[in-house]
Amino acid sequence: MTKNVRVRFAPSPTGPLHIGGVRTALFNYLFAKKHNGTFILRIEDTDQNRYVEGAEQYIVDALNWCGMPADESPVNLGNYGPYRQSERKEIYKKYAEELIASGNAYYAFDTAETLDFHRKDHEAKGKTFIYNWHNRLKLKNALSLSADEVNAKLEAGEDYVIRFKSPQDETLHLKDSIRGDIKIDTNILDDKVLFKSDGMPTYHLANIVDDHLMEISHVIRGEEWLPSLALHYQLYTAFGWEAPEFAHLPLILKPTGKGKLSKRDGDKLGFPVFPLEWKDPKTEEVSRGYKEDGYFPEAMVNFLAFLGWNPGTEQEIFSLEELINSFDLERVNKSGARFDPDKIKWFNHHYMQEQTNDKLSEAFKALRPELSDIDVNYIEMVIALVKERATFISDFWDLSHFFFTAPTSYDEKASKKAFKEGTKDILKEVVSIVNSTEDFSVESLQTNIKGWITTNNIGFGKVMMPLRLALVGALQGPDVFDIMFMIGKLESVSRIERVIDIL
């Protein structure tokens, strides 16, 4: 790629960053790093009415947690700032006036009430109101009014907007890196508002001006922006600027595959749709986050990479570095990607196995107050025995509580299965063997108990099932001899004798 690659992720700080936004940021990040380029975070906060306190910091924190910090951003300044649109608003009026001077835009003075009347009138007739070539001369704007009338209105301080003048009877030939060539008939396009008399630009003008001034080479964004592509191309042409390359990513669909994934889907089916926990500053409602739910950032990134992209091989596990090396926009699909909450759990289970036991033991200890006085090295040994069965750190307690506390009850169904006539005598013999085992190691316990079973021709289940039940309280857990070694001789005997007493 000959030109310097510069991409931007440009969210609005109107609330927590949706998982779809994280996927868009990821694809931008991967593309930039693949081509030794720059990944920019630009905050599009021109609509101050929708601004939510804390949302911008949330976006920064989410990107950092995923391991993809921006090279340039409001907190990591580069040479193309400011990186908040609200701090750039003085820039945009000049460009709006430039479009007026070149005949590509015009002042419009229609009131909200007038436009609302036209919309409702069209709806009543089964039509859609579009402000463009076919009716603009019948409306109140610089194309239907004289120059003196326009100047008088501007000098009087009347409210106005600046609209783009969409051409008539033309066919636009647009190119999208994912969707290929797109043809658009300009007769169906409306004259979009670019600027308002309060001094604020709309998304369309600010977006194009900022992308140009920041030398953005590729615009990689969600397909919800595809309807804006025609206007954006026309704006680049009107300014005489070279347009960046565009790529519109497929939607992330509900787990059913029907419709766009929403927060409601997560609430209904029990999974988060935000990377981090979010507390609404007004309602104080708390929304779950993947981080707080126990997901590893590596699992999140690996999972999101496959929502709309595939490497063309059978490989599914990718580190961030491997994703960077493999990523290619040509392998991004056009069709929507179904969100599978079970698949991200599968990824999390994989990355759980790659975590070091010492790191997991510290996290587990911090999670459970019952472990505050337990030596972290002992916890680490326990985790080594149960990690294979865990998907989340929060799973560890259910998988290992019997290493820390003796059972106070016994699974009823398992008890009926394990405790038979003669079980009491068998367990008394096991106590005797355990007490006489000098070298209290896994190997010695295994040799002594299994040797006794074999010598006396007893079925293994008659011994091992009640023994496990005595130690654990249920027919679960790792190898019985590992459990006995870990809890020690005295505790092993104590637990077996307790079962003998209640049999």
- DSSP calls for 180-216: EEEEEEGGG----EEEETTSPBPHHHHHHHHHHHTT-
Point out the residues that are catalytic. 263
Mean pLDDT of 267-296: 95
- According to DSSP, residue 35 is labeled T
| Cβ–Cβ < 8 Å for 72, 33 | no
Helix (H, G, I), strand (E, B), or coil: what is residue 150? helix
SS3 content of the chain, % helix, strand, coil (to 5): 50, 10, 40
Contacts of 66 (CB under 8 A, 6+ apart): 22, 25, 26, 275, 297, 300, 301
Mean pLDDT of 199-215: 95
What pLDDT sits at residue 503? Answer: 76
> Does 287 have pLDDT greater than 80?
yes
What pLDDT sits at residue 2? Answer: 61
What pLDDT sits at residue 352? Answer: 97
Confidence of residue 47 (pLDDT cuts 50, 70, 90): confident
Mean pLDDT of 80-89: 92
Please state which architecture CATH assigns to domain 412-502.
Orthogonal Bundle (1.10)
| Cβ–Cβ < 8 Å for 92, 205 | yes
Q: Beta strand 171-176 with 180-185: parallel, antiparallel or unpaired?
A: antiparallel
What pLDDT sits at residue 325? Answer: 97
What pLDDT sits at residue 78? Answer: 94
Mean pLDDT of 485-489: 97
- According to DSSP, residue 141 is labeled B
Contacts of 380 (CB under 8 A, 6+ apart): 357, 358, 360, 361
| Cβ–Cβ < 8 Å for 486, 403 | yes
Look up tokens 């009138």; give the residue. Answer: 121
- Measured CA to CA, the distance from residue 191 to residue 107 in angstroms comes to 11
Domain boundaries along the sequence of the chain: 6-73+204-253, 90-195, 263-352, 356-401, 412-502
pTM for this one? 0.92
* Dihedral angle computed from the Cα positions of residues 321, 323, 325 and 329, in that order, rounded to the nearest 10 degrees: -150
Mean pLDDT of 16-38: 97
Mean pLDDT of 220-249: 97
> Domain 90-195, CATH 3.40.640.10 — does that match?
no
- Measured CA to CA, the distance from residue 9 to residue 52 in angstroms comes to 18
Residues 14, 19, 21: CA angle, nearest 5 degrees: 60
Look up tokens 């929502």; give the residue. Answer: 307
What pLDDT sits at residue 489? Answer: 97
Helix (H, G, I), strand (E, B), or coil: what is residue 310? coil
Tokens, residue 173: 């030939």
**Tally of residues, the chain:** 503
Residues 40, 46, 47: CA angle, nearest 5 degrees: 130
Mean pLDDT of 82-91: 92
450 carries a ligand binding annotation: no
What pLDDT sits at residue 166? Answer: 96
> Does 1 have pLDDT greater than 90?
no
HSE of 367, CA atoms in CB hemisphere, 13 A: 17
What pLDDT sits at residue 49? Answer: 83
Look up tokens 């790529």; give the residue. Answer: 247
Mean pLDDT of 286-314: 96
> Does 348 have pLDDT greater than 80?
yes
**pLDDT digit string, tens, across residues 236-261:** 999 999 999 999 999 999 999 999 99
| Cβ–Cβ < 8 Å for 286, 54 | no
Please state which architecture CATH assigns to domain 263-352.
Orthogonal Bundle (1.10)
Q: With the C-alpha atoms ordered 337, 342, 348, 350, is the resulting torsion angle positive or negative?
A: negative
Residues 411, 417, 418: CA angle, nearest 5 degrees: 80
Please state which architecture CATH assigns to domain 6-73+204-253.
3-Layer(aba) Sandwich (3.40)
b/e map 122-135, b = 16+ CB within 10 Å: eeeeeeebbbbbee
What pLDDT sits at residue 46? Answer: 79
What stretches of 102-194 show up as alpha helix (H) in DSSP? 112-124, 147-155
Fold agreement (90-195, 263-352): no
- Measured CA to CA, the distance from residue 9 to residue 50 in angstroms comes to 19
Q: Beta strand 278-279 with 286-287: parallel, antiparallel or unpaired?
A: antiparallel
Of 80-84, 160-164, 199-203, 229-233, which gets the smallest average pLDDT? 199-203
- Measured CA to CA, the distance from residue 344 to residue 304 in angstroms comes to 9
Q: How far is residue 167 from each of residues 171, 188, 210, 225, 233, measured CA to CA in Å?
A: 9, 10, 24, 21, 13
